[in-house]
Amino acid sequence: MERRAASRPVGRPRPSMSTMSLPSAEIASPWAMILASGDGRRLRPLTRRIAGDERPKQFCRVLDQDTLLEQTLRQSALLVPRDSTVVVVVDAHKQFYAPLLSDLPPHGVAIQPENRGTAPAILYGLLRVMTAVPMSPVVIFPSDHYVSNDAGFMAHVETAIRAVVARPDLVILLGVMPDSTDVEDGWVEPGEPIAGPWRPGLYRARHCWQKPSPRLAVSLRARGCLWDSFVMVAYPSAVLTMIRSSVPSLVDAFTPIRMRLQTPWEASSLRRVYARLPSIDFAKRVVGTCPANLAVLCLDGVAWSDLGAPGRVVATLARSGARPVWVGDSASPVARGAPAQS
């Protein structure tokens, strides 16, 4: 299901790309972290059909001639230079990510020895950013989502950056106004508004849910809750505080890595730490606790979808009108709207 942000009353004009002048005197120069270490198992039947191999979805040309990772890099580049971007990957995917990231500087590719879930990936990426620029805000992007308008989407990201510069204690999620009672992703209930010149409104996160029951999802939509897009904006220290509060053992486990970042011993230290790490999901273990410094900014006027399953890809293609080469003729199951089968 594609999520289309509903219209909101117009207050301040939404920022346009013409106002995106980062870095500037009034806002810190941001960094970007792109999460590209997932295995994409739910979409594997479709990505195998597209690429003819076992590559994860972020390295596939799912929607057009660019891979999902390339699309995310293109979006991010509207605000953040490539040399201020860190892409978090897994060593086993090197044959897929290396050709796409060849123009990034060495500090821009954070290679995990294994996939241990989104919480270790985010923590490792944060530590890499903090080593380079401890005092810059960071935008955390998934690499498997669709947005209908890159400029409109990044205008909201810019608004969130300006908000965290004014309120450096906050971690801001981009929320999406739901158009269904989807149960596969996270939901966030906006609480009291946070005063400031930003529009659309910025709210405290009152409560968070991960994959609610269908009955609960109906209730959440009725009371104005939002989908969690998993796009986050914050200072690294604020996210680190959230992780330490929710999963202190993970932060402790990374202590040896912190001392060896950007040294010849970083990779070997990572291997030792990851060999003992369990898989930890950031959405469930960190966002799911709804930390006190969590806020939500509603994505307004931009269609969004998580491309985590074949049915969502089909729905996104139908609404966007895109017809990538792999779809084939209209008689194919995917072209007719049926999920691909292995």
Give which of 328, 306, 293 is closest to 338, Cα–Cα. 328
- Sorting pLDDT into bands at 50, 70 and 90, what band is 124? very high
Percent over 70 (pLDDT), the chain:
87
Give which of 248, 231, 240 is closest to 283, Cα–Cα. 231
Contacts of 281 (CB under 8 A, 6+ apart): 117, 118, 119
Residue-level pLDDT at 325: 83
The mean pLDDT of 36-53, rounded to a whole number, is 92
Residue-level pLDDT at 341: 36
- Sorting pLDDT into bands at 50, 70 and 90, what band is 87? very high
* pTM for the full predicted model: 0.88
DSSP code for 298:
E
Amino acid at 239: V
Q: Please name each of the domains of the chain with its CATH number.
A: 28-336 (3.90.550.10)
Query: Alpha-carbon distance 174 to 233, whole Å?
Result: 8
The mean pLDDT of 210-232, rounded to a whole number, is 94
- Sorting pLDDT into bands at 50, 70 and 90, what band is 16? very low
Residue-level pLDDT at 311: 87
The mean pLDDT of 194-209, rounded to a whole number, is 89
pLDDT greater at residue 295 or residue 259 = 295
Contacts of 95 (CB under 8 A, 6+ apart): none
- 3-4 β-sheet, strand order: 3-4, 303-306, 145-147
Burial class (CB in 10 A: 0-12, 13-18, 19+), 8: middle
Residue-level pLDDT at 201: 86
pLDDT greater at residue 330 or residue 227 = 227
Residue-level pLDDT at 27: 54
The mean pLDDT of 315-323, rounded to a whole number, is 86
pLDDT greater at residue 338 or residue 70 = 70
- Sorting pLDDT into bands at 50, 70 and 90, what band is 200? low
The mean pLDDT of 288-298, rounded to a whole number, is 94
- Sorting pLDDT into bands at 50, 70 and 90, what band is 13? very low
User: Does residue 20 surpass a pLDDT of 50?
Assistant: no
pLDDT, tens digit, for every residue of 253-262? 999 999 899 8
